[in-house]
Amino acid sequence: MQLKKAILAAMLIIILAITSIPAFAGVSLRGRVTASALNIRAANSIESEKIGILYSGDIVNIVNKEDGGWYKITLSDERFGYVKEEYIALIDNDTTSRDGDNLSMGEKVLEYAKTFVGVPYKYGGSSPSGFDCSGFTMYVYKHFGVNLPHSASAQANYGTYVEKSELKPGDLVFFKKPGKSIHHVGIYAGNGYYIHAPQTGKTISVVPMTRSDYYTARRIFN
């Protein structure tokens, strides 16, 4: 009788230990954003500071499932952030690999660029600790073996010219005021949006390309 009690107690301890393991422990899970725009929070609370934003189709690496319907995710600068679980569709790594294989080079450039959303603008910056506009595009394209100069106007000499109506994700888009030289560059994100490092006090973001000083575009990968 005593032996049976000891065995039952041991089994109960094992069951409790297994069920107490945090969700996803030791498992690499990824998810795809289903909302048109999804805020990244510093903690698992809607009142917490917004530290970034994700867009529909973005892929996130999930660390854990938190209380209140939140996922803890990793960011490009090795920080952690929190997003609402209801706006993330879980995917397996095989699916992600297949999706990646079907992307064009321009789309791969864009997906990589979007991993830096939320990184602060830094004048003269060209690393994930802070980017200026041309430092950002230079860094992103270097990841794909393309060495661009750290200058928006100089980058406009690379690749091939693209009409605005023919823009595709990954194309470089340039901005210039009348009588001035090119002063800004970003990466086209599709559907009339582009991703860029805006100015001091701002962070890398995907925004509508509605500004009036649009000048030209170049395609690096044909």
Give residue limits of the domains in the chain.
Answer: 2-97, 103-219
Q: Does the pLDDT of residue 82 top 80, yes or no?
A: yes
> What pLDDT score does 17 carry?
44
Quote the pTM value: 0.61
> Residues 160-197: pLDDT tens digits?
999 999 999 999 999 999 999 999 999 999 989 999 99
CATH of domain 2-97: 2.30.30.40
Contacts of 166 (CB under 8 A, 6+ apart): none
**In terms of Cα–Cα distance, which of 128, 113, 104 is closest to 194?**
113
User: What are the φ/ψ torsions at residue 145 (nearest 5 degrees)?
Assistant: 85, 15
> Residues 45-56: pLDDT tens digits?
999 999 888 877
> What pLDDT score does 9 carry?
55
Give domain 103-219's CATH superfamily.
Answer: endopeptidase domain like (from Nostoc punctiforme) (3.90.1720.10)
Just list the catalytic residues: 133, 184, 196
